[in-house]
Amino acid sequence: MNLTHLDEQNKPKMVDVGDKDLTVRTATASGTIEMTPEAYEAVVSNTAKKGPVLQTAVIAAIQGAKQTSTLIPMCHPLMLTSIKTEIEELPELPGFRLRVTAKLNGQTGVEMEALTAVSVGLLTIYDMLKAIDKGMVIRNVQLEKKSGGKSGDFRR
């Protein structure tokens, strides 16, 4: 198997996607954050001292998707056409599930943008609640599905 991010001299390189066809590409990723009942209540009652936790996490997730190429060395800067977020309350954990779908019409996929968005959004929730609960756990950051491109569709 040839590694696409290494050149003939085994040096790192960014893959040339210039000859690939433009296609609509989407990717959806998700992850959860578990916390104490006290931290969960601060979020759902909107009483966290740092402000509106979930709204801030959504903005952070969007920003994370847009900044992926500055964080992940071999990712191409992309012109994203859509970033959709969904946060689900999970009182039984207690905690939250963040799901992000990234979309573009381009020559490379958006899996890394969706995964980065979820990671940054969940880390933002952690940051905003760490005064209440330093033991929060971020779990199961994963690609749920993707479509478009030469490799086709994927669904977990």
Q: Looking at residue 6, what DSSP letter applies?
A: B
**Which of 109, 128, 122, 102 lies closest to 42, judged by CA?**
128
Torsion angle, alpha carbons of 53, 73, 140, 153, to 10: 110
* 7 assigned to active site: no
The catalytic position among 7, 19, 21, 127 is 127
**Axis-axis angle for helices 111-129, 37-44 (nearest 10):** 100
| Positions marked catalytic | 127
